[in-house]
Chain A
Amino acid sequence: MQLLFAFIAGGLFGAGLFTSGMTDTTKVQGWLDVFGNWDPTLAFVMGGAMVPMAIAWIIAEKRKSSVLGTPLPPNPSTTIDRNLALGSVMFGLGWGLAGLCPGPVIASLSYGGSSLWIFLIAMLSGMLVAPHLRLRLDRQLPAE
């Protein structure tokens, strides 16, 4: 059952990324480019996505476990540390550079051509080395 709902959730996510136009890199870069021909679409996507998600969090708060009986995520941490800031800045630069983030890359693999696969391989390589970089960073320059 968990696998079925994982597919349904992923399918809705993919359908939403496709429908919203977020797999078109010019729409992402157009939203980030406040000095160019600014495209507001991304704000509507983000706003639209947060409505059902906020309702889901309100329902989740009243429950002890998920419908399928698995534990719900713990309360979020409130510490804004060096890794959150540094990682998000790195991610933002890459996002602006290619107009791609992890969700839309997967959603457009079937129609984005070889560029998407090159980006995906680079992203997976980055994800593979990230835990090692993070460990080294924490050892040499403690965040606190």
Chain B
Amino acid sequence: MPMDWIWGLIGGLLIGSGGAVYLLMNGRIMGASGIIGGLVDGSGRATKWERLIFLAGVAGIPVMLTALFGKIDTHVTDNIGVLIAAGLLVGIGTRIANGCTSGHGVCGMSRLSLRGFAATIFYILAGGLGVVLFRHILGVI
């Protein structure tokens, strides 16, 4: 849709504001994989409750927004094999690389971190190649 980019920009500003609050108030980097991963393996500086309550905000506010504006169709696949393979790759990959789109992308690149830029280039190139491979060559998605 032609208006999508405006919503993207507004949503982006909200995401960045969340990151700014987490950094300036709590002294933390807002990286989704790090916040979730720390709950799983106990790494990092934030406390368990800080992580859980952050995630409750991430999951909870959209509940309110869907009640007001209706649900978004996620168009997510129902192919269980694809879901499991993708989930494992995302889980292992983000923890080995120490970050995902929010940590390395939004928070890393905005402080001109070399690792943030490098990680972002790697995951975008791999994601692009992945879509070409899985969609156009193998036809699984």
Q: Which residues of A contact B (CB under 8 A)?
A: 1-3, 5-27, 29, 32-36, 39-57, 59-60, 63, 65-68, 70-73, 76-80, 83-103, 106-113, 115-116, 118-131, 133-134, 137
Contacts and interface: CB of A to CB of B under 8 A. Distances in A.
Nearest to B126: A92
Interface in B98-141: 98, 100-102, 104-111, 113-116, 118-120, 122-132, 134-136, 141
Nearest to B65: A18
Contacts of B71: 111
B11 A20 contact: yes
A93 to B, nearest CB: 4
Contacts of B57: 6-14
B119 A88 contact: yes
A13 B58 contact: yes
A48 B12 contact: yes
Interface range on chain B (Cβ under 8 Å from partner): 35 or more
Contacts of B80: 118
A23 B72 contact: yes
B81 to A, nearest CB: 10
Q: Which 3 A-B pairs have the closest CB atoms?
A: A126-B91, A48-B12, A20-B11
14 contacts: A3-B49, A34-B128, A48-B13, A50-B12, A51-B12, A56-B20, A70-B27, A73-B27, A83-B96, A87-B98, A88-B119, A92-B124, A93-B129, A100-B90
Given A65-B27, A89-B122, A93-B126, A134 B66 contact: no
Contacts of A45: 8-9, 11-12, 15
Contacts of B84: 118-119, 122
Given A6-B54, A87-B94, A108-B62, A94 B12 contact: no
Contacts of B11: 15-22, 45, 48
Contacts of A67: 24-25
B9 A47 contact: yes
Given A10-B61, A56-B16, A76-B115, 13 more contacts: A11-B58, A14-B59, A19-B11, A20-B14, A21-B7, A21-B11, A33-B132, A48-B10, A48-B16, A53-B23, A93-B127, A108-B72, A119-B84
